[in-house]
Amino acid sequence: MSTGSLNINLEALKRNWAALDARSASGVETGAVVKANGYGLGSAQVARALAQAGARKFFVATAEEGSAVREVLGRGPEIFVFGGHMSGDTDMINDLDLIPMLNSVDQLTRHFEALPGAAFGIQLDTGMNRLGMEMAEWAAVAEIALTAGPRLVMSHLACADEPDHPQNAQQLATFHAMTDGINVPRSLSATGGILLGPDYHFDVTRPGVGLYGGLPFEEAEPVVNLSLPVIQTREVEQGESVGYSATWIAEEDSVVATVSGGYADGLIRAMSGRGHLFFDGTPCPIVGRVSMDLITVDVTHLAATPRMLDILGPDQTIDDLADVAGTIGYEILTSLGARYKRRYVGDLV
């Protein structure tokens, strides 16, 4: 096999959902965010597993993503679209019973005119300044919108992964000011907000990255294991260089393994000369530049020639790898390339 093997543990995914559901206050419904193709792991398999775990509300970024999830789940579960009702989405929203989270007066007008009586939600901006209606805009349309009966009113926390950040309390207060007294389910928290405690939970929570093994949910089980096949090993003499631009020069006679994987597979160039792969728990440093399809690794210290090296797994989480590359676990997950042989572990009906 000349491509990496990406193992996705759906049972761990389900357990992470159950653990975050248990963290939610009594009476709060726990949904699931499956946008970006299930955080890069396959929205079909991920959504089906989370439905088995108990999720009945699913959140995606676009109507097209909602279409893929609806095809898997069938009718029944609610699918909310964070991007709202965009021009050209009307038929898809109508035919597939998607619920757009309306972000502006323009979207509200489009939805009410194109699909009168169809389900919708409202997204409010409480300080992130990204999506949603601000205070004045909401005040102008709240009566009309609430009379039509939205399925959900939500906002999104900007700093929930920093529990002591003052903006968390500010956004909570703003959300109360904008929504207290409405007879509509409310949602403020994704993974980080769940961990902030019950004051942030309201009626529905929307865990995302924590389901997939990422921070800030430190108790999450790892969901992915990525092993890369060794294509070739070679002896590199002291003073010889490896890879593009000769950025690594052997200080002693070395053995270097070339593995199948690179930035075309989501293993970004910033890992060059900084990251590690693992063989039976032993770290093996990346040497030279990460290229499009290949990574070179120093395996001089290994007693045996490896057939595979792990870059994600029990020895290195998505956030460990992200720290090395100067990014976040979300980017590592959602960048995992299409060339990997994906294997799903766990029961799917």
Q: List, by residue number, the catalytic residues.
A: 35, 244
Buried b (16+ CB within 10 A) or exposed e, 190-213: bbbbbbbeeebbbbbbbbbbbbbb
Tell me which long-range contacts 202-205 makes (C-beta under 8 A, separation of at least 24): 202/28, 203/27, 203/28, 203/29, 204/28, 204/29, 204/30, 204/31, 204/57, 204/152, 204/154, 205/20, 205/24, 205/28, 205/29, 205/30, 205/31
**284 strand-pairing partners:** 277
